[in-house]
Structure 1
Amino acid sequence: MRGPWRATVLGSQVAELLRRPGRFAATGVSLLIAAFVVFGAVMAQQIVAATVVDRFRGTPDAVTLVVTGKDAADIGGAGPDAIRSAPGVAEAVGRVDGGAPVGGSAADRYLALAADPGTGPLARVRTVEGAYPSGPRQLAVDTRAAEAYGLGPGSSLTLLLPTPDGESTRRVPVEITGVVRPAATGTGEPTGYAPGPGLLRLLGLPGYSRVDVRTETPAAATGAAERIRRAVPGAVVRSGDEVRDEEARAAVADASDTLQLAGVFLAVAVGAAVLVATSTFRIVFARRVRQLALLRAVGATSRRLAAALVAEGAVVGLLAGAAGVLAAWSCARLVPPVAGRFGHGLSAPAGFPLPQAALTVLGTGLLAVLAVLAPSLTASRVSPLQALRTAASEESTVSGTGRTVLGVLCAAGAVLLARQQYAGLPEPGDTAYDRFAVLTLVVVSGGLAFLALIALGPLLVRPVLSALAVPLRRTGAAGRLAVAGVGGAPGRAASVSVVVALGVCLVGSTLTCLASLDSYERYKRTLEAPADFRLYAGEGGTLDRTIAADLAALPELADVTAFRTAEVTEDGRSATVSDLDLTTVRSGTGLTARTGALGELGPARVVVDAEHAHRLGVEAGDRVTLTSGDRPVRLTVAATLPGAGPHGVNFFVTPADLTRLGAGPAPTLITADAATDGAEGRARAHRAVTQILTGPERGDGRVVAEDAATRTGADDDLRTMATTVVLLLCLTVLVAVAGVATTASLTVVERRREFGLLRALGLGGAAVHRMVTLECALYGVLGGILGLALGLPYSYLTVRAAEVSAPFTVPAGQLAAVVAALVLVTAAAGTVPALRASRTPPTVAVARGD
């Protein structure tokens, strides 16, 4: 007769699971979070895709056929007429995309040009002011061009178009008849619109890039396509739905870049969840030592016991995965209506992605198996004699010679790789190195260092705690007991703190790298846009010496600076030298020095850019010789720059030294800023500069107006990337906090007799509450210290490898805020377990342990 199911090894484990569901629910919390964030990413991608498809506007919906030339060839100017005459075709419009520089301005400007009918179902624009062009040399401009160039109905502009022979430029005046708003998404540059025939004549083009066709009925599209191929030999005809589908897929792919980036950090969060789950299973199995020993005593083999424990972990993982998937799907269904209440239109996903859900659940079960494997093998080797003892701590199984040796080997490998990469870091100006290979090895070294931290964590906990114990002992008995409680279980403390350290390491490294790159972006912005306006002379010429004074007198301008440049040779190579005062380069984003100080520039001294400093092998205090003609001038290096110099200048000297090098008295470059911020202030300044520049008598100079949007775009992208990455990394921190809460809950269950004894000895409930809360806070402190100790060195290597000229900047305030917030969060995670511990009655101290 077969025995009851509880008599089997697996049955006994399932019975234990049913008897104490709360204890085993704790083992699945981190896995549930992992499943939630993974399937949440799937649902987020579906929401993004649905939203982009619903909002995307490219080829008009009325277009049933799109005709293009074979091998990207143009369709002749008569092509639309031939297509329009085909039976079944209701309308055909030609599209052409081009552009031309805009004349009549002191600044370089460009206007993109596109053909559009302006009205009807095939139009991509709608008129918002004035009228759409109906005659030759007429344009309608979009709202972006109208704002940027100050255009409106009745105004005019001059296009600089090539002559038919292509050897010169002709000035073509055009009339602006109206302002339009594009219906298509993704249009970014200032654009002018006109009907196809008129735009072809204006640009002198032979044909259209494509023709959009609307048939009389959708059913007529197939027959019309065949007739179009006969009417226009070599034409490629595709359906409008096919073209719109391609455009939508491209738009979704662009919008999914951030989600692809998220996948990398989701993998880190999943890894953290595995670490937390491993620690939790180890604690739970250690609590059940007597039960496992009894099974061994009645004949259960280690192999069968390990298999049962692995099966138990798989069940927990599958249940946690299913719960996480359902929670993520429910939240995803709530996102669109909640976003709509805040004015953000999001589309709901089409349906429930069953294949992705099944993979997530199965993947969570596999993660649980991986997490439970090592603890189950350790627990299955328990001696039957343990049945005669009380529950043992997992500390007896977490340390060992093998683990220490593994940790030392990983640490040695990480140090060797890091040292090798540090020795091979390039100097500013050196571009002959493989950045990707260096970053890859830095990541490998960091991975080995983290593995070493996992293996050696129990050995590192007590030394760190000994340093923290000094101030904590002054907080009273609760502080001393908290240090003793964490130090008494170093393996458990290390398991939790390592996950916290992973979060701190990643967040801190990200903030440090982004702060360094942000400093470098500001430096590059200073180089690329050192002023709102730059006035330079014609080829080989100089500027009128009075023009700087005239510009300085304009109330619309500020910070007018005139300086000279000259060509010199050093070490047989030509270079540019200038007397520009580097302290006057765009206030608020000033230059920095790699060696020396910019303020040290004086007579017989020079500031050198990074490339020439690297090639000459000089730094502050060394000497260089510059030669102009037969005039050698020996100078001492006052400072070297971390990158290129403003305006492409290589050497910076005083005006007297530049005169010694043969430079003339007239300025070769004048810079100025708008007196007031904003587009309106820049437009007023531009008009004033244009009026000052009246032609060759002013030195035939030309002004380039820097684009303010370009100067801030990189910062905006960097801030967006920083916010996205930090939010994604917070998933790892969330898993770590869940691990702290789970560990604290299990600890309270395991140490009830200890708490009861403390209560019996006179320790109040509030003191017990403070003790457990401080223990949880110590997990955050340990993780913060270990994470920063690991993250900062690798941040330095990453910054130097990614951008050799970027200064290493440590955002001390942000890092301190991250650690402080994490300590508070981990302390808060222990609030509920601490409350349970504080309610432990003193009688538990004499009760028999389970």
Structure 2
Amino acid sequence: MSWPAWRDQPGRIMLAVVAVMLGVALAFGVHLLNGAALTEFARAARSVNGQPDLVLRARTGALADGDLAELLKRPEVAAANPVLEAVALWPGQAGPGGMGLSIRLIGLDALALLASAANGQPLAPELMPQVDGGTEALLGARTVHLNAAARARLPAGATMLTLRLPTPGGGAPRDVVLTIGGRVAAGSAPLGVLDIADAQALFGRLGMLDRIDLQLTPGTEDTAWAATLPSRWRAAPPADEGERLSDLTRAYRVNLGLLALMALFTGGFLVYAVLSLATAQRLPHWALVGVLGVSARMRWRLILAEGLVIGIVGTGLGLALGVGLAAGALKLLGSDLGLHGGGGSSTELLLRQPLLLPALVYGGLGLAAALLAAWAPALTVRRIAPALVLKGLGLPAGRVLPAWAGLALLALGTALAWLPPLWQGTPVAAYASMLCLLLGGLALVPALVRALGALLGRLPATALLMLARERSRDQAAEARRSLAGVLVALALAVAMTVMIGSFRDSLERWLDHALPADLYARSALRSGDGLAAPLPPALVERLRQLPEFARTAPQRSARLRLAPGGDAVALTAREMGTGNLPLLERWSGATEADAVAVWVNEAARDRDGLVPGKVFDAELIDAGRPVRLQVLGVWRDYSRQSAALWMALPDYRRVSGDTATSELALWLAPGQPLNEARAAIRRLAGDDIETAAAGELRALSLQIFDRSFAITLWLQAVALAVGLFGVIASQSAQALARRREFGLLRHLGLSRRMLMRLLLIEASLTGGAGALAGLGLGLGLSLVLVYVVNPQSFHWSMELSLPVARLAVLVGLAFAAAVGASLLAGRRALGADAVRAVKDDA
């Protein structure tokens, strides 16, 4: 295209292209990263768990060998693989954070896997040991078959492996020596496969099974067949781990995707500002082609064509850059994105998910943003009267939304914020509320500029103040266009800064409540469900008697089912002193005499309806007992997004009969050094116990928080940078477009110094209006984020906290960019060409 915008303003046009490119790249790249993580996690889970038709478990307790024998008699069962799992400690090996390394052990029936493979439908092909020596080697006594991650930690030539297993009932742990057998392909974390009979003996669970993976005969409908099973069994299709992770991370991914679209949203306003000001500069050219016969409709199409070209180029580059960003992030973070899911390369991860539809969606968003940005300038050019413009009468009056429309949008945004979440807990109404607030704030910018200009009338009257006041009155709509990008970026940056600051401050206060002790100890061993194994009672008693500690408090981590056949939720039995509970709500009504008091987190209240005062029946999974519970309060829980309950430790022991201790909180004696207390614990328990100081847990939690929000801050910085570049480009174009006006003022006697002062006053007015509007809108958006989006998305409430210093930096940066850009552009516009430009008015 040879149109003057591409010849005379290549820098600003390229800036618009870059704005679209960055927005599309960030949004598309984040989508690809999310998809890659979910794809790899699901693949890794399938490699370990296999893909049976049904997974059968006991409704209460564990399955027995007799259940397997009964199932095999049913003609609909083609293959059945019994499974028993445990987690062992690998002495001498260091895991993440310097803790002991755990290895997952899976007991199964290799012959059942061979039979399913012979039928052409293998149950778990990546768990099938690859051995030399036939069936005898496959079923060798006390033989463990290891995956690559476990073999990488073996010394050269090793043939035996010593592992430490917890003793059922909480006794002292036992060391078992196993012969190293063949290889298994599953998993990227250390994993070993045993014969099911060996596993039952080694785990101390003779005759017991965790689950049975079933393969049905062809033509058997799994759901209908499962309905015919005895009530003591619970059979269901295997849980899709990718779908489960998708559910757990949906809120985070949606919020991250919307933050990525922030740059595209801001970039759209930048394209609008660039094309609007380019249109104003090229007004004589458009008038000339109009007089020469180019119709209004054709002029409208040409402007839209410019926006389309910007959108096509920016979108194309953005999609390519998005793939590159995703691939680079996968190379940097690893193929599992920290999920320990597998070892595929970044290219494989990206190609395992559909790319065409997401590319069309995000590419369409980029094109739509560019075309919408070009729409208003195109209408302006369509409405000009060419003859009047050639006579110097300029643009027709711009169409500006009245102030009442802006107020109405603000009111609508406020109302939408009160609506409940939609679509699986996603706060759709809250996001619509934020959009309405942004648009309402933009509509009110002209009124704010005029109001600030009116304040100049209260100052002693001077020529410069009068000129600035009149221009603020007449060109308020122009200020809205030039400030649109930075206003949106500043508002979103302020909102995210307030939200992150509020979240971090609330997390710090929560950690003070959740970690009252000086030191925490738990077993380095893990049970089959991944929870810490119980501490031996004798060890607990010896720890209590250590002189290094003034006080100890036991805690028990267990599992609970809120409904028959439901998923397990976390239950913590602990001391329930009111001084260390971060409670949000308390039940002040009557309590049922036969119900045990529990306190639930916000996720349990919101998702499962466990409101204060509610009485319900549940099942203690580990004890295999039903229990009647009543909710006495709701507590803040930043450690998880799923349901969790607290119960007083004496109540738990009474209703469950379980006297074990999972964790021990310890308070140091006065003047006792922490390191000496840790050494005393180590002398008693050796490597079988893990300790963590409250300060270490606090620092680790805050480190995880900061790392989680690092990408959020980066996306926020990109959007703000795009907005700041936009205001610089807008102010530069405005100053250059006013060369004739400056030349006329020079002829009327104003010096160059006086004109620079005039530009400073005008830039301070517009920049101040943009900074104030961005700050006000940002604070309004932060209220929606803190009080609506986070509770609805993550079930985490928090207190509002204003990081004044950071907000001052953000607002000052936006104001300085507007004023500085105007002064720099004005210095160029006030050169000799400004005086000669007056001749063009003739």
**Short-chain TM bin:** 0.5 to 0.7
- Within 5 A, what are the aligned runs for 1:412-561? 412-414=411-413, 421=418, 441-464=429-452, 489-532=475-518, 554=547, 556-557=548-549
**Equivalent residue of 2:585, what SS?**
helix
**Equivalent residue of 2:105, what SS?**
strand
Over aligned residues, Cα RMSD in angstroms?
A: 6.5
Q: CA deviation at 1:722?
A: 3.1
Q: CA deviation at 1:42?
A: 3.1
Q: CA deviation at 1:435?
A: 13
CA contact (8 A) 1:268 1:732 kept: yes
2:277 aligns with one of 275, 283, 291: 283
CA contact (8 A) 1:303 1:380 kept: yes
CA contact (8 A) 2:251 2:426 kept: no
**Would the alpha carbon gap of residues 203 and 720 (structure 1) be closer, same or farther in structure 2, given more than 3 Å must change?**
same
Q: What is the distance in 2 between the residues matched to 1:796 and 1:307?
A: 41
**Would the alpha carbon gap of residues 349 and 409 (structure 1) be closer, same or farther in structure 2, given more than 3 Å must change?**
same
Q: CA deviation at 1:159?
A: 1.5
2:664 matches 1:672: no
- Equivalent in the alignment of 1:23: 9
Q: CA deviation at 1:248?
A: 9.1
Q: What is the distance in 2 between the residues matched to 1:558 and 1:398?
A: 75
CA contact (8 A) 2:505 2:801 kept: yes
Letter in 2 for 1:36: L
Letter in 2 for 1:815: L
Letter in 2 for 1:521: L
- Within 5 A, what are the aligned runs for 1:216-365? 260-297=254-291, 300-325=294-319, 349=347, 363-365=365-367
Q: What is the distance in 1 between the residues matched to 2:250 and 2:508?
A: 28
Q: What is the distance in 2 between the residues matched to 1:370 and 1:557?
A: 68
Deviations 1:605-646 (A, max 9, x none): xxxx75348779xxxxxxxxxxxxxxxxxxxxxxxx99689x
- Equivalent in the alignment of 2:808: 816
1:42 aligns with one of 6, 28, 38: 28
Q: CA deviation at 1:160?
A: 2.7
Letter in 2 for 1:309: I
**Would the alpha carbon gap of residues 252 and 177 (structure 1) be closer, same or farther in structure 2, given more than 3 Å must change?**
farther
Q: What is the distance in 2 between the residues matched to 1:48 and 1:336?
A: 11
Q: What is the distance in 2 between the residues matched to 1:677 and 1:179?
A: 45
- Equivalent in the alignment of 1:159: 167
- Equivalent in the alignment of 2:723: 736
**Would the alpha carbon gap of residues 111 and 706 (structure 1) be closer, same or farther in structure 2, given more than 3 Å must change?**
farther
Q: What is the distance in 1 between the residues matched to 2:803 and 2:636?
A: 25
Q: CA deviation at 1:272?
A: 2.4
1:725 aligns with one of 712, 718, 742: 712
1:684 aligns with one of 656, 665, 679: 679
2:163 matches 1:140: yes
Letter in 1 for 2:150: V
Deviations 1:286-344 (A, max 9, x none): 3343444445545555444433433343234323434545666677788789999xxx9
Q: What is the distance in 2 between the residues matched to 1:265 and 1:643?
A: 29
- Equivalent in the alignment of 1:373: 375
Letter in 2 for 1:114: L
Q: CA deviation at 1:255?
A: 9.4
Letter in 2 for 1:175: D
2:18 aligns with one of 23, 28, 32: 32
**Would the alpha carbon gap of residues 528 and 480 (structure 1) be closer, same or farther in structure 2, given more than 3 Å must change?**
farther
- Equivalent in the alignment of 2:115: none
- Within 5 A, what are the aligned runs for 1:693-732? 714-732=701-719
- Within 5 A, what are the aligned runs for 1:36-115? 36-43=22-29, 46=32, 58=44, 71-72=55-56, 96-98=84-86, 114-115=105-106
Q: CA deviation at 1:531?
A: 1.4
Q: What is the distance in 1 between the residues matched to 2:764 and 2:332?
A: 35
CA contact (8 A) 1:31 1:364 kept: no
Q: CA deviation at 1:743?
A: 1.0
CA contact (8 A) 2:89 2:163 kept: no
Q: What is the distance in 1 between the residues matched to 2:51 and 2:425?
A: 46
Q: What is the distance in 2 between the residues matched to 1:740 and 1:100?
A: 60
Letter in 2 for 1:203: R
Deviations 1:136-158 (A, max 9, x none): xx9515xxxxxxxxxxxxxxx75
Unaligned runs of 5+ in 2: 58-62, 69-80, 91-99, 108-128, 130-142, 218-224, 226-239, 522-539, 555-574, 591-632, 638-644, 649-663
**Equivalent residue of 1:397, what SS?**
coil
- Equivalent in the alignment of 1:126: 151
- Equivalent in the alignment of 1:657: none
Q: What is the distance in 1 between the residues matched to 2:742 and 2:588?
A: 66
Which TM-score applies when normalising by structure 1?
0.57
Q: What is the distance in 2 between the residues matched to 1:451 and 1:389?
A: 36
- Equivalent in the alignment of 1:174: 174
Q: What is the distance in 2 between the residues matched to 1:459 and 1:379?
A: 25
Unaligned runs of 5+ in 1: 1-13, 80-92, 103-108, 142-156, 162-169, 212-224, 227-233, 235-245, 425-431, 536-546, 563-577, 586-590, 593-608, 617-640, 651-668, 692-702
CA contact (8 A) 2:421 2:427 kept: no
Q: What is the distance in 1 between the residues matched to 2:718 and 2:588?
A: 43
**Would the alpha carbon gap of residues 397 and 713 (structure 1) be closer, same or farther in structure 2, given more than 3 Å must change?**
same
**Equivalent residue of 1:203, what SS?**
coil
Q: CA deviation at 1:445?
A: 3.9
Q: Which moved more, 1:671-680 or 1:835-844?
A: 671-680
CA contact (8 A) 2:304 2:378 kept: yes
Deviations 1:10-36 (A, max 9, x none): xxxx65x15752337635633432233
- Equivalent in the alignment of 1:10: none
Q: What is the distance in 2 between the residues matched to 1:72 and 1:293?
A: 78
**Would the alpha carbon gap of residues 521 and 774 (structure 1) be closer, same or farther in structure 2, given more than 3 Å must change?**
same
Letter in 2 for 1:397: G
**Equivalent residue of 1:125, what SS?**
helix
Q: What is the distance in 2 between the residues matched to 1:808 and 1:19?
A: 46
**Would the alpha carbon gap of residues 489 and 328 (structure 1) be closer, same or farther in structure 2, given more than 3 Å must change?**
farther
**Would the alpha carbon gap of residues 264 and 838 (structure 1) be closer, same or farther in structure 2, given more than 3 Å must change?**
same
CA contact (8 A) 1:525 1:711 kept: yes
Letter in 2 for 1:33: A
- Equivalent in the alignment of 2:618: none
Bigger-Rg structure (1/2)? 1
Aligned residues: 641
Deviations 1:566-614 (A, max 9, x none): xxxxxxxxxxxx99795xx7xxxxx99xxxxxxxxxxxxxxxx753487
- Equivalent in the alignment of 1:611: 585
Q: What is the distance in 2 between the residues matched to 1:793 and 1:805?
A: 17
Q: What is the distance in 1 between the residues matched to 2:315 and 2:406?
A: 32
Deviations 1:739-766 (A, max 9, x none): 213212322331223445677767558x
CA contact (8 A) 1:500 1:733 kept: yes
**Would the alpha carbon gap of residues 524 and 531 (structure 1) be closer, same or farther in structure 2, given more than 3 Å must change?**
same
CA contact (8 A) 1:60 1:124 kept: no
Deviations 1:454-496 (A, max 9, x none): 222111123246669999x99x999999898777632222223
Q: CA deviation at 1:512?
A: 1.9
**Would the alpha carbon gap of residues 793 and 740 (structure 1) be closer, same or farther in structure 2, given more than 3 Å must change?**
closer
- Equivalent in the alignment of 1:661: none
**Equivalent residue of 1:530, what SS?**
coil
